[in-house]
Amino acid sequence: QVQLVESGGGLVQPGGSLRLSCAASGSILSVYATGWYRQAPGKQRELVALMQGDGSTNYAASVKGRFTLSRDSAKNTVYLQMNSLKPEDTAVYSCNADIILLTGELGDYWGQGTQVTVSS
């Protein structure tokens, strides 16, 4: 069994910062890739940022230069540092990870989501 638990969401004023965490736990051999997605009311879910197993990263154009991914491999945790937040960043943020289990199987897992609200 594998669990992904997100934390760090909340209410912040425009221009502010938040750091989201996505912690994986369970029968994990390694985390292959982790992505952060967001879904705003009435909109489709979109990929915000992606970190591959080799540590390379990709960002959506709308967040490039403002959001930064990092990871602590020892803790199986990926962080999304969000700076210069805008009202249009308001959404439920969810992490998704491709995880290699101790059995050797590759599984795809989602966290429960965390609300980010940017408002004055």
Q: What is the pLDDT of residues 105-114, one digit of tens each?
A: 999 999 999 9
| Token reading at 20 | 């989201």
- Which residues, at least 6 apart from 74, have a Cβ–Cβ distance to it below 8 Å? none
The confidence score (pLDDT) of residue 32 equals 84
For the segment 24-44, the average pLDDT, to the nearest whole number, is: 92
Q: Are 22 and 4 in contact (CB under 8 A)?
A: yes
- pLDDT digit string, tens, across residues 38-83: 999 999 999 999 999 888 999 999 999 999 999 998 999 999 999 9
